[in-house]
Structure 1
Amino acid sequence: MIYRFRIILDNDTDDDVFRDLEIQETDSLEDLHNLITQSFGFDGTEMASFYVSDDAWNQGQEISLFDLSEDASAQLMNETTINSIVYEMQTKLIYVYDFFNLWTFYVELAEIVEETNGTGYPNLIFSKGQIPDVAPEKIFEADALDDFDEFDDGIDVDDYEGLDFDENWN
Protein backbone atom coordinates (compact mmCIF):
# COMPACT_ATOMS: atom_id res chain seq x y z
CA MET A 1 0.00 0.00 0.00
CA ILE A 2 1.01 3.60 -0.62
CA TYR A 3 0.59 6.29 2.01
CA ARG A 4 -0.13 9.81 0.77
CA PHE A 5 0.92 12.50 3.22
CA ARG A 6 0.44 16.25 3.29
CA ILE A 7 3.38 17.97 4.99
CA ILE A 8 2.54 21.53 6.10
CA LEU A 9 5.07 24.06 7.37
CA ASP A 10 4.02 25.55 10.74
CA ASN A 11 4.00 29.08 9.52
CA ASP A 12 2.22 32.12 10.98
CA THR A 13 1.96 33.93 7.64
CA ASP A 14 -0.78 33.90 5.05
CA ASP A 15 1.44 31.94 2.66
CA ASP A 16 0.66 28.24 2.56
CA VAL A 17 3.74 26.07 2.27
CA PHE A 18 3.13 22.34 1.90
CA ARG A 19 4.08 19.23 -0.02
CA ASP A 20 2.03 16.16 -0.90
CA LEU A 21 4.15 13.02 -0.84
CA GLU A 22 3.69 9.33 -1.56
CA ILE A 23 5.70 6.62 0.15
CA GLN A 24 5.36 2.89 0.69
CA GLU A 25 3.79 1.93 4.00
CA THR A 26 6.68 -0.40 4.84
CA ASP A 27 9.36 2.26 4.36
CA SER A 28 10.99 3.63 7.50
CA LEU A 29 10.42 6.98 9.12
CA GLU A 30 14.00 7.77 8.10
CA ASP A 31 12.90 7.34 4.47
CA LEU A 32 10.03 9.77 5.13
CA HIS A 33 12.48 12.17 6.85
CA ASN A 34 14.73 12.06 3.75
CA LEU A 35 11.76 12.66 1.45
CA ILE A 36 10.60 15.65 3.51
CA THR A 37 14.04 17.26 3.66
CA GLN A 38 14.56 16.82 -0.10
CA SER A 39 11.10 18.10 -1.03
CA PHE A 40 11.55 21.27 1.05
CA GLY A 41 15.15 21.85 -0.09
CA PHE A 42 17.04 21.07 3.12
CA ASP A 43 20.40 19.33 3.00
CA GLY A 44 19.30 16.73 5.56
CA THR A 45 22.34 17.08 7.81
CA GLU A 46 20.57 18.48 10.86
CA MET A 47 19.03 16.59 13.79
CA ALA A 48 15.35 15.76 13.39
CA SER A 49 12.52 13.96 15.16
CA PHE A 50 8.99 12.84 14.52
CA TYR A 51 6.43 13.05 17.31
CA VAL A 52 3.24 11.03 17.38
CA SER A 53 0.35 13.48 17.57
CA ASP A 54 -3.30 13.37 18.49
CA ASP A 55 -6.10 15.10 16.57
CA ALA A 56 -5.39 18.40 18.37
CA TRP A 57 -1.71 18.27 17.30
CA ASN A 58 -0.42 17.66 20.82
CA GLN A 59 3.13 16.37 20.77
CA GLY A 60 3.52 12.80 22.01
CA GLN A 61 6.09 10.01 21.75
CA GLU A 62 9.38 11.01 20.06
CA ILE A 63 11.02 9.02 17.28
CA SER A 64 14.46 10.49 16.61
CA LEU A 65 17.02 10.35 13.84
CA PHE A 66 19.87 9.55 16.26
CA ASP A 67 19.93 8.12 19.76
CA LEU A 68 21.33 10.78 22.06
CA SER A 69 19.90 9.26 25.25
CA GLU A 70 22.26 8.13 27.99
CA ASP A 71 20.73 4.65 28.17
CA ALA A 72 20.33 4.07 24.39
CA SER A 73 16.57 3.82 24.81
CA ALA A 74 15.38 6.21 22.09
CA GLN A 75 13.08 4.95 19.38
CA LEU A 76 14.85 5.53 16.07
CA MET A 77 13.51 6.46 12.64
CA ASN A 78 15.54 3.83 10.80
CA GLU A 79 14.08 1.08 13.01
CA THR A 80 10.45 2.25 12.75
CA THR A 81 8.26 1.50 9.76
CA ILE A 82 5.71 4.09 8.78
CA ASN A 83 2.76 1.71 9.10
CA SER A 84 3.74 0.82 12.68
CA ILE A 85 3.16 4.44 13.75
CA VAL A 86 0.70 5.84 11.21
CA TYR A 87 -2.55 4.12 10.28
CA GLU A 88 -6.21 4.99 9.70
CA MET A 89 -6.90 5.73 13.38
CA GLN A 90 -3.54 7.48 14.03
CA THR A 91 -2.97 9.85 11.10
CA LYS A 92 -0.93 12.75 12.48
CA LEU A 93 2.74 13.35 13.24
CA ILE A 94 4.73 16.45 14.05
CA TYR A 95 8.13 16.65 12.35
CA VAL A 96 10.86 18.95 13.69
CA TYR A 97 13.99 19.53 11.62
CA ASP A 98 17.09 21.39 12.85
CA PHE A 99 16.71 21.80 16.61
CA PHE A 100 18.47 25.19 16.56
CA ASN A 101 15.99 26.72 14.11
CA LEU A 102 12.99 24.50 14.91
CA TRP A 103 11.55 24.03 11.44
CA THR A 104 8.23 22.45 12.42
CA PHE A 105 5.88 20.59 10.10
CA TYR A 106 2.48 18.99 10.48
CA VAL A 107 2.43 15.58 8.79
CA GLU A 108 -0.97 14.10 8.07
CA LEU A 109 -1.93 10.89 6.32
CA ALA A 110 -4.34 11.97 3.59
CA GLU A 111 -5.14 8.56 2.12
CA ILE A 112 -3.97 5.02 1.61
CA VAL A 113 -3.99 3.84 -2.01
CA GLU A 114 -2.89 0.87 -4.09
CA GLU A 115 0.55 1.00 -5.65
CA THR A 116 0.47 2.15 -9.29
CA ASN A 117 2.53 0.05 -11.72
CA GLY A 118 5.33 2.05 -13.30
CA THR A 119 5.40 4.68 -10.57
CA GLY A 120 8.57 5.08 -8.55
CA TYR A 121 8.24 5.55 -4.81
CA PRO A 122 8.80 7.66 -2.79
CA ASN A 123 7.28 10.41 -4.87
CA LEU A 124 6.61 14.16 -4.58
CA ILE A 125 3.15 14.62 -6.11
CA PHE A 126 2.37 18.27 -5.34
CA SER A 127 4.22 21.33 -4.09
CA LYS A 128 2.81 24.69 -2.96
CA GLY A 129 4.74 27.67 -1.66
CA GLN A 130 8.39 28.36 -1.06
CA ILE A 131 10.16 27.68 2.19
CA PRO A 132 11.22 30.99 3.80
CA ASP A 133 14.91 31.82 4.24
CA VAL A 134 14.63 31.47 8.02
CA ALA A 135 12.42 29.27 10.16
CA PRO A 136 9.19 30.92 11.34
CA GLU A 137 9.61 32.24 14.88
CA LYS A 138 7.96 30.11 17.52
CA ILE A 139 5.91 31.81 20.22
CA PHE A 140 5.88 29.69 23.33
CA GLU A 141 2.99 29.93 25.78
CA ALA A 142 5.10 31.50 28.54
CA ASP A 143 6.57 34.05 26.13
CA ALA A 144 3.09 35.08 25.03
CA LEU A 145 2.14 36.21 28.53
CA ASP A 146 3.07 39.88 28.95
CA ASP A 147 3.33 39.76 32.73
CA PHE A 148 4.87 36.29 33.06
CA ASP A 149 7.18 35.99 36.06
CA GLU A 150 8.34 32.49 36.85
CA PHE A 151 9.20 33.53 40.42
CA ASP A 152 5.92 35.24 41.30
CA ASP A 153 3.69 32.69 43.01
CA GLY A 154 1.53 35.25 44.84
CA ILE A 155 2.78 34.32 48.32
CA ASP A 156 4.17 36.99 50.63
CA VAL A 157 6.85 35.24 52.68
CA ASP A 158 6.69 37.93 55.37
CA ASP A 159 2.92 37.58 55.96
CA TYR A 160 2.26 34.89 58.62
CA GLU A 161 -1.28 35.99 59.46
CA GLY A 162 -2.99 33.96 56.75
CA LEU A 163 -1.02 30.77 57.40
CA ASP A 164 -2.59 28.01 59.46
CA PHE A 165 0.20 27.06 61.83
CA ASP A 166 1.67 28.09 65.17
CA GLU A 167 4.95 29.86 64.47
CA ASN A 168 6.11 29.21 68.08
CA TRP A 169 5.44 25.48 68.03
CA ASN A 170 8.91 24.48 69.15
Structure 2
Amino acid sequence: MAVLKFRIYLEEDDAVYRDIVIKHTQHFIDLHFAILKAYEFDQKHQATFFRSNDNWQRGREISFEKYDKAYVADPLLMAETTIGSEIRDTNQKFIYLYDFAKNWTFLIELINVSKEENAKLNYPAISRIEGIGPQQYGTKSLLGDKFADIEEKYDLSEASDGFGEEGEEGESDADEFGSEESTEEEF
Protein backbone atom coordinates (compact mmCIF):
# COMPACT_ATOMS: atom_id res chain seq x y z
CA MET A 1 0.00 0.00 0.00
CA ALA A 2 1.42 3.39 -0.97
CA VAL A 3 2.26 5.88 1.74
CA LEU A 4 2.35 9.50 0.62
CA LYS A 5 4.41 12.20 2.33
CA PHE A 6 3.12 15.71 1.93
CA ARG A 7 4.88 18.91 2.98
CA ILE A 8 2.37 21.53 4.12
CA TYR A 9 3.76 25.07 3.98
CA LEU A 10 2.26 28.17 5.43
CA GLU A 11 1.65 30.33 2.35
CA GLU A 12 3.37 33.43 3.76
CA ASP A 13 6.47 31.62 5.05
CA ASP A 14 7.94 28.53 3.41
CA ALA A 15 10.34 28.09 6.34
CA VAL A 16 7.33 27.03 8.42
CA TYR A 17 6.05 23.62 7.38
CA ARG A 18 4.79 20.26 8.57
CA ASP A 19 5.34 16.90 6.90
CA ILE A 20 2.42 14.50 7.06
CA VAL A 21 2.45 10.87 5.96
CA ILE A 22 -0.85 9.36 4.89
CA LYS A 23 -2.01 6.26 3.02
CA HIS A 24 -3.18 6.82 -0.53
CA THR A 25 -6.48 5.09 0.31
CA GLN A 26 -7.32 7.58 3.05
CA HIS A 27 -9.62 10.48 2.38
CA PHE A 28 -9.05 14.21 2.19
CA ILE A 29 -11.00 14.61 5.41
CA ASP A 30 -8.21 12.66 7.15
CA LEU A 31 -5.61 15.03 5.69
CA HIS A 32 -7.78 18.00 6.70
CA PHE A 33 -7.81 16.93 10.37
CA ALA A 34 -4.09 16.05 10.28
CA ILE A 35 -3.20 19.55 9.04
CA LEU A 36 -5.33 21.18 11.74
CA LYS A 37 -3.66 19.01 14.38
CA ALA A 38 -0.16 19.71 13.00
CA TYR A 39 -0.71 23.48 13.18
CA GLU A 40 -2.73 23.31 16.41
CA PHE A 41 -5.86 24.86 14.87
CA ASP A 42 -9.39 24.09 16.03
CA GLN A 43 -12.00 22.37 13.85
CA LYS A 44 -14.67 25.07 13.90
CA HIS A 45 -14.35 26.61 10.45
CA GLN A 46 -15.02 25.93 6.80
CA ALA A 47 -12.29 24.30 4.74
CA THR A 48 -11.53 23.24 1.21
CA PHE A 49 -8.71 21.79 -0.88
CA PHE A 50 -7.90 22.66 -4.48
CA ARG A 51 -5.97 20.39 -6.78
CA SER A 52 -3.13 22.55 -8.08
CA ASN A 53 -0.29 22.69 -10.58
CA ASP A 54 3.33 23.86 -10.42
CA ASN A 55 2.19 27.50 -10.59
CA TRP A 56 -0.15 27.08 -7.59
CA GLN A 57 -3.25 27.75 -9.65
CA ARG A 58 -6.48 26.50 -8.13
CA GLY A 59 -8.07 23.59 -9.94
CA ARG A 60 -10.76 21.10 -8.93
CA GLU A 61 -12.18 21.83 -5.47
CA ILE A 62 -12.43 19.17 -2.77
CA SER A 63 -14.57 20.67 -0.05
CA PHE A 64 -15.54 19.70 3.51
CA GLU A 65 -19.15 20.23 2.49
CA LYS A 66 -20.99 22.08 -0.23
CA TYR A 67 -21.03 25.69 0.91
CA ASP A 68 -23.44 28.43 -0.06
CA LYS A 69 -21.28 29.99 -2.77
CA ALA A 70 -20.95 29.88 -6.53
CA TYR A 71 -18.97 26.96 -7.96
CA VAL A 72 -17.63 26.56 -11.49
CA ALA A 73 -18.15 22.81 -11.03
CA ASP A 74 -19.67 21.00 -8.06
CA PRO A 75 -16.93 20.26 -5.55
CA LEU A 76 -15.84 16.78 -4.59
CA LEU A 77 -16.40 16.08 -0.89
CA MET A 78 -13.47 15.39 1.45
CA ALA A 79 -15.22 12.48 3.16
CA GLU A 80 -15.85 10.72 -0.18
CA THR A 81 -12.63 11.46 -2.07
CA THR A 82 -9.49 9.39 -1.56
CA ILE A 83 -6.17 11.15 -1.79
CA GLY A 84 -4.80 8.65 -4.28
CA SER A 85 -7.64 9.38 -6.71
CA GLU A 86 -6.50 13.01 -7.05
CA ILE A 87 -2.78 12.39 -7.55
CA ARG A 88 -1.98 13.23 -11.16
CA ASP A 89 1.84 13.32 -11.05
CA THR A 90 4.80 12.60 -8.79
CA ASN A 91 5.04 16.14 -7.45
CA GLN A 92 1.30 16.76 -7.11
CA LYS A 93 0.34 19.98 -5.36
CA PHE A 94 -2.79 21.05 -3.49
CA ILE A 95 -3.90 24.28 -1.89
CA TYR A 96 -5.67 24.03 1.45
CA LEU A 97 -7.89 26.91 2.53
CA TYR A 98 -9.14 27.04 6.12
CA ASP A 99 -11.45 29.55 7.81
CA PHE A 100 -12.76 31.57 4.88
CA ALA A 101 -13.00 34.70 7.07
CA LYS A 102 -9.30 34.58 8.11
CA ASN A 103 -8.28 32.94 4.83
CA TRP A 104 -5.55 30.64 6.18
CA THR A 105 -3.85 29.28 3.06
CA PHE A 106 -1.49 26.32 3.04
CA LEU A 107 0.48 25.00 0.09
CA ILE A 108 0.71 21.21 -0.03
CA GLU A 109 3.31 19.36 -2.03
CA LEU A 110 3.79 15.63 -2.49
CA ILE A 111 7.46 15.05 -1.61
CA ASN A 112 7.72 11.27 -1.31
CA VAL A 113 5.89 8.05 -2.17
CA SER A 114 6.82 4.89 -0.31
CA LYS A 115 5.56 1.34 -0.66
CA GLU A 116 6.45 0.45 2.91
CA GLU A 117 4.10 1.20 5.78
CA ASN A 118 5.51 1.77 9.23
CA ALA A 119 3.59 -0.60 11.54
CA LYS A 120 4.31 1.69 14.49
CA LEU A 121 2.55 4.68 12.92
CA ASN A 122 -1.15 5.41 13.02
CA TYR A 123 -1.84 7.13 9.69
CA PRO A 124 -2.10 9.99 9.01
CA ALA A 125 0.90 11.01 11.08
CA ILE A 126 3.01 14.13 11.46
CA SER A 127 6.57 13.14 10.54
CA ARG A 128 8.30 16.52 10.76
CA ILE A 129 7.67 19.95 12.26
CA GLU A 130 9.74 22.90 11.09
CA GLY A 131 9.37 26.44 12.36
CA ILE A 132 6.93 27.97 14.80
CA GLY A 133 3.41 27.83 13.42
CA PRO A 134 1.06 30.79 13.45
CA GLN A 135 -1.47 31.37 16.19
CA GLN A 136 -4.96 30.82 14.86
CA TYR A 137 -6.46 33.65 16.91
CA GLY A 138 -4.39 36.78 17.45
CA THR A 139 -0.86 36.71 18.71
CA LYS A 140 0.59 34.74 21.57
CA SER A 141 4.09 34.92 22.96
CA LEU A 142 6.51 32.18 22.02
CA LEU A 143 6.58 31.03 25.63
CA GLY A 144 2.81 31.20 26.00
CA ASP A 145 1.49 30.28 29.43
CA LYS A 146 4.92 29.10 30.57
CA PHE A 147 6.13 32.70 30.83
CA ALA A 148 3.27 33.59 33.17
CA ASP A 149 4.36 30.75 35.47
CA ILE A 150 7.98 31.95 35.41
CA GLU A 151 6.90 35.53 36.04
CA GLU A 152 4.83 34.46 39.04
CA LYS A 153 7.51 32.14 40.45
CA TYR A 154 10.25 34.75 40.32
CA ASP A 155 7.95 37.73 40.80
CA LEU A 156 9.29 39.52 37.77
CA SER A 157 6.59 42.14 37.88
CA GLU A 158 8.20 44.02 40.79
CA ALA A 159 11.54 44.66 39.12
CA SER A 160 10.25 45.28 35.65
CA ASP A 161 13.62 46.23 34.19
CA GLY A 162 15.42 43.39 36.00
CA PHE A 163 17.77 45.62 38.00
CA GLY A 164 17.60 46.72 41.61
CA GLU A 165 18.75 50.03 43.04
CA GLU A 166 22.47 50.61 43.30
CA GLY A 167 23.85 49.85 46.73
CA GLU A 168 20.84 47.91 47.98
CA GLU A 169 22.75 44.73 48.74
CA GLY A 170 26.19 46.33 49.14
CA GLU A 171 25.45 47.74 52.61
CA SER A 172 24.57 44.38 54.12
CA ASP A 173 27.61 42.77 52.46
CA ALA A 174 29.93 45.33 54.01
CA ASP A 175 28.46 44.69 57.49
CA GLU A 176 28.79 40.92 57.01
CA PHE A 177 32.47 41.07 56.16
CA GLY A 178 33.27 43.63 58.85
CA SER A 179 34.68 46.18 56.44
CA GLU A 180 33.49 48.59 53.84
CA GLU A 181 35.91 47.38 51.16
CA SER A 182 34.55 46.40 47.80
CA THR A 183 34.00 42.67 47.40
CA GLU A 184 33.91 42.74 43.60
CA GLU A 185 36.65 40.14 43.21
CA GLU A 186 34.57 37.51 44.98
CA PHE A 187 31.86 37.73 42.35
TM-score calculated relative to the size of structure 2: 0.65
- State the partner residue of 1:60: 59
Deviation digits for residues 11-64 of structure 1 (CA, Å, limit 9, x no counterpart): 15xx72100110111000000000000100001211000001011111111111
- State the partner residue of 2:112: 111
Unaligned runs of 5+ in 1: 136-170
- State the partner residue of 1:50: 49
- State the partner residue of 1:168: none
* Post-superposition offset of 1:89: 4.3
- State the partner residue of 1:18: 17
- State the partner residue of 1:121: 123
SS of the residue 1:124 aligns to: strand
Pick the aligned partner of 2:132 from 116, 126, 130. 130
Unaligned runs of 5+ in 2: 138-187
* Post-superposition offset of 1:130: 1.7
Q: 1:134 to 1:118 in 2, by over 3 A?
A: closer
Alpha-carbon contact 2:63-2:78 (below 8 Å) kept: yes
Q: What is the alpha-carbon distance in structure 2 between the residues aligned to residue 111 and residue 29 of structure 1?
A: 17
Alpha-carbon contact 2:60-2:75 (below 8 Å) kept: no
Deviation digits for residues 48-91 of structure 1 (CA, Å, limit 9, x no counterpart): 00001011111111111011258994311111000001243461
% same residue: 38
Q: What is the alpha-carbon distance in structure 1 between the residues aligned to residue 74 and residue 104 of structure 2?
A: 25
* Post-superposition offset of 1:4: 0.4
Q: How does 1:150-161 map to 2 (within 5 A)?
A: none
Alpha-carbon contact 1:68-1:74 (below 8 Å) kept: no
Q: What is the alpha-carbon distance in structure 1 between the residues aligned to residue 109 and residue 64 of structure 2?
A: 19
Q: What is the alpha-carbon distance in structure 2 between the residues aligned to residue 40 and residue 118 of structure 1?
A: 22
Q: Runs of 4+ in structure 1 displaced over 6 angstroms? A: none
Report which of the two structures shows the higher radius of gyration computed on alpha carbons: 2
SS of the residue 1:101 aligns to: coil
Aligned-residue CA RMSD (Å): 2.2
1:74 corresponds to 2:66: no
SS of the residue 2:79 aligns to: helix
> Structure 1 or 2: larger helix share?
2
* Post-superposition offset of 1:121: 1.4
SS of the residue 1:27 aligns to: coil
Alpha-carbon contact 2:90-2:110 (below 8 Å) kept: no
TM-score calculated relative to the size of structure 1: 0.71
Q: What is the alpha-carbon distance in structure 2 between the residues aligned to residue 53 and residue 10 of structure 1?
A: 14
